[in-house]
Amino acid sequence: MTEQLFSNDALPGPDDITRQSFDNGSVLLTRPNMSSPAVLIRGYLPPGSAFEDPEKYGIANFMASMLTAGTRKHAFRELHDEIETMGASLSISSGGLATSFSAQCLREDLPRLLALIREVFTEPTFPARQFQRIKTQLLTFLSIQAQDTAAMADQAFDRAIYRAHPYAIPELGFPHTLQMIIREDLKDFHQRFLGPKGMVVAICGGVQPEEALGAFERSLGAWINPAQQPQPELPPVEALQGIIREHVTLEEKSQTDLVIGTFAPKTTGPDYLPAQVGNEILGQFGMMGRIGESVREKAGLAYYAQSELGGGLGPTTWQVVAGVNPKNLNKAIALIREELARFTSELVSEEELSEVRSALVGRLPLSLESNAGTASALLNLERYQRGLDYIRQLPSKFAEITREDILRTAQTYWQPDTLVIASAGEALS
């Protein structure tokens, strides 16, 4: 049994999390931290990149990048001067399923900042000058990314494992699709998809729940977009068949980046927590777990080597990633596959399990010390439809996971002869 060094009452729970749904389809979660002078706002709302038209790949990210480029009330410089005058911050980005935003201010400026967030969501003008500047920046970034071995290995892996699924497409799109996007496309996409239905916001920090609820209700909680269209459901993903090998040749690179992986358990399913504990042992804990010890520390085949367990509402992946000298690529692949074979055929040791469980439980309160950490945790409660007591239950849930649970989960998802192996770097010899 994992020794618990703190009281569960110190973690967010039903007695100090306030959740309120609004008529416009939005949800607010708030938890006070009166020792903090700042208030953090973090949230997500439709749309994401997974439902873009093929000829306009990248439009969700392009639109998100332009929301703070100017509104009907504030030109670009005026808008940013307004934010800076408050000593506040505001950033907006796009992902596969949602547009995310994060903002911070002092307590007295919360109503003003929430009103400004509503303004950039509802009244963007997509000014021509900023449109061209941001398009150039995005195209430049894609050009640089095309020479990045880690990014190209990731994209090759996504193409191979997701195939016809929307997740196979990079969230930033492609140069030729970005070139086709005009200002009117952004305006149309914004009007049709950006709206409060499905919006979830967390407010944490030095503000009482009643004050946060009131400020939200007068701003984002009152936003209505009658034209907002629902995003389509994600299609099912095809099961893997055999070993899929992909390589992107990038000449004159001193490092080859490698991704070996498979599909992960559903984040909302019963196998996810055993996979999380198992993943720590496989390639995260200490010096990056067994993978790091075997491939990097003992064999000296990699600059870095670790495992990563994806999480999200759609199909996600479980990967081992490494950066290697091109001459060591095949040796690294073979050694990683040996470690995966061991992971799927033997029980982890009692010592490994005990150490990892203690680390996960010990990290839990540390991850919630900041307003940002608490806000992210609250958003995940809503994203994955977990109860308000879920965070307090985690220590006992981790304690219940056995060596047999980890082996069963590993054998279910890591099939030695059903993998995607993707790499990017010097041409294969």
Q: What is the structure's pLDDT at 286?
A: 87
Look at residues 81, 186, 74, 100 and name the one whose alpha carbon lies nearest to residue 138. Answer: 186
Query: Where do the domains of the chain lie, and which CATH numbers do they carry?
Result: 15-222 (3.30.830.10), 244-425 (3.30.830.10)
> What pLDDT shows up at residue 8?
76
Question: How much is the pLDDT for 4?
Answer: 53
How far is the C-alpha of 31 from the C-alpha of 88, rounded, in Å? 20
Series of mean pLDDT values for 10-residue runs along the chain (429 residues)? 59 97 98 96 96 96 98 97 97 97 98 98 98 98 98 98 96 97 98 97 98 98 96 92 97 97 97 98 94 96 97 96 97 97 98 97 95 98 97 97 98 96 95
Name the nearest CA neighbour of 44 among 220, 308, 225.
220
In 285-368, beta strands by DSSP E: 302-309, 317-324
- Predicted confidence at residue 297, as pLDDT, reads 95
- The reported pTM is 0.94
Calculate the alpha carbon distances from 284 to 183, 290, 380 in Å. 44, 8, 22
Is there a contact between 56 and 390 (Cβ–Cβ < 8 Å)? no
Which residues, at least 6 apart from 239, have a Cβ–Cβ distance to it below 8 Å?
A: none
Q: Give the helix, strand, coil percentages of the chain, each rounded to 5.
A: 50, 20, 35
